[in-house]
Structure 1
Amino acid sequence: REEAMAEFLQFPSENPSHGRMMPNLGITAEEAKGIVAFLKHMSSIDTNGFPRNFSKMQGAIHGK
């Protein structure tokens, strides 16, 4: 799965989807692996209840 994501990032026109076409950004294999690693890391973070103790900020412009 991770390899498929990296391949898609490198060669989006060879791996079409049913939505909008992703532009070919010229991403290298190393960059693609780094992006996939970052996305994997971010998806592993437990965000239930985040942010903790959230309340209106003091001096907020819109939250008077």
Structure 2
Amino acid sequence: MTEQLSTNRRKSTPCPGGDENCPHLDEVSRLRAEVKQLAKMVRTDELTGLFNFRYFNQALSLEMERVRS
């Protein structure tokens, strides 16, 4: 059953090799833009646009590693 599903999936992907009008390329581009936006939202406060505590902790860890080495 699983083999049949994966075979059907392979047959339904019309352009894995690089067709310029591939609908998958648009989807990948849209998803990359969404991931970029979500990454920004994780680091900043939505109301003020300032970096949040999570970003501060990441930056602090990087600086501590830099100072120690």
TM-score (norm 2): 0.30
Bigger CA radius of gyration: 2
Higher share of residues assigned helix: 2
Compare relative contact order (CA 8 Å, sep 6+) and give the higher one, 1 or 2. 1
TM-score (norm 1): 0.31
